[in-house]
Amino acid sequence: MSVLGVLAGILTTGCWLPQLARSWRTRSVGDISWFYLLALASGVALWVAYGASQGDLPIVLTNAATGTALVTLSVMKLRYRQEDTA
């Protein structure tokens, strides 16, 4: 079951890589809403807490990686908005 969890985590976390690359390349994240980022980040944080409470390392690690991607997108959203207004 741990292999299944790790595989699921890799796939769901890896799906963020194309979005991050596109956002970095185009310097555009205006089409990603703050509400979406906040809602998803909250859910991911809850998954990390759940995984930690269950001692399930694949859930903790993969959701922490997804959380890192969401923080990165949030920073891009702030930074690129400031570049657009400059």
**Domain boundaries in the chain?**
2-85
- Output the pLDDT for position 85: 55
With tokens 């809850």, the residue in question is 46
Convert the pLDDT of each residue in 2-22 to its tens digit: 788 788 888 988 888 898 899
> Check: CATH 3.10.20.30 for 2-85?
no
Q: Give me the pLDDT at residue 55, please.
A: 94
The per-residue pLDDT for 81 is: 78
- HEC profile for 34-62? HHHHHHHHHHHHHHHHHHHHHCCHHHHHH
Which residues of the chain are modeled with pLDDT < 70? 1, 82-86
pLDDT score for 1: 64
Residue 30, pLDDT score:
85
